[in-house]
Structure 1
Amino acid sequence: MNVPELFEEGWYWTSTQYSPNLAWSQSFDDGLQGNLVKDYEGRVRVVRRFPLN
């Protein structure tokens, strides 16, 4: 399900660590992915994975 209206623009943390000091992040305003210092303030959005038929 694609529901972009439920996401505020800006960076969100993923659950995957990049290194001891960095974590992967996802931007929902421009679609960029990257890693950010864990001190950075970002949002978290819970996402459940389900199979597509």
Structure 2
Amino acid sequence: MSDTRDIRSTLGEGEHYAGLILGKEGEPDYHLVLMNGEVVQAGWAAATGWARELGGALPSRRELSLLFANVKEQFEREWYWSREPQAGHPHLVWGQNFASGIQTVYGRAFRGHARAVRRVPVE
């Protein structure tokens, strides 16, 4: 299912195809799908649990950049959680501002927005 047309045909209601993420250091490439729904005013742990309940995950920093570039209109002009803690500071987690495009870190207790993604391997 490596063809973009094939991926688009599998999108669920309210899902959006965000694009292709190229693998790094031998990891496989994959397609990124933005899942339906959003959580607001949630700390990182709650946002992570919410995404998992949907059958997805919070996006990585790279994925947030792709989402900002390709499906920005699907986001509020707010700050969104990633799944990535800051290296050396596990109490801080990266996220992205969808008004400015800036990525920065906040404490896990900060109440931000979250969207879930799913990853479809390139075959």
Name the residue aligned to 1:29: 99
How many residues are aligned here? 51
Q: Give 3-state SS (helix, strand or coil) of 1:3's partner.
A: helix
> 2 CA distance for matches of 1:39 and 1:21?
9
TM-score by length of 1: 0.77
From 10, 17, 27, the counterpart of 2:78? 10
Q: Could you tell me which runs of 5 or more consecutive residues in structure 1 were left unpaired when the two chains were aligned.
A: none
- Measured against aligned partners, the alpha-carbon deviations of 1:26-53 in whole angstroms (never above 9, x if no partner) come to 11000000111111101111234568xx
Q: Give 3-state SS (helix, strand or coil) of 2:94's partner.
A: strand
Flag the structure with higher helix content: 2
> 2 CA distance for matches of 1:45 and 1:8?
11
Q: Give 3-state SS (helix, strand or coil) of 2:117's partner.
A: coil
Which contiguous aligned blocks of 4+ residues in structure 1 show a shift greater than 3 angstroms?
A: 48-51
> 1 CA distance for matches of 2:105 and 2:119?
22
> 2 CA distance for matches of 1:49 and 1:35?
24
Larger Rg: 2
The RMSD of aligned alpha carbons is 1.6
Q: Give the % identical residues.
A: 41
TM-score by length of 2: 0.37
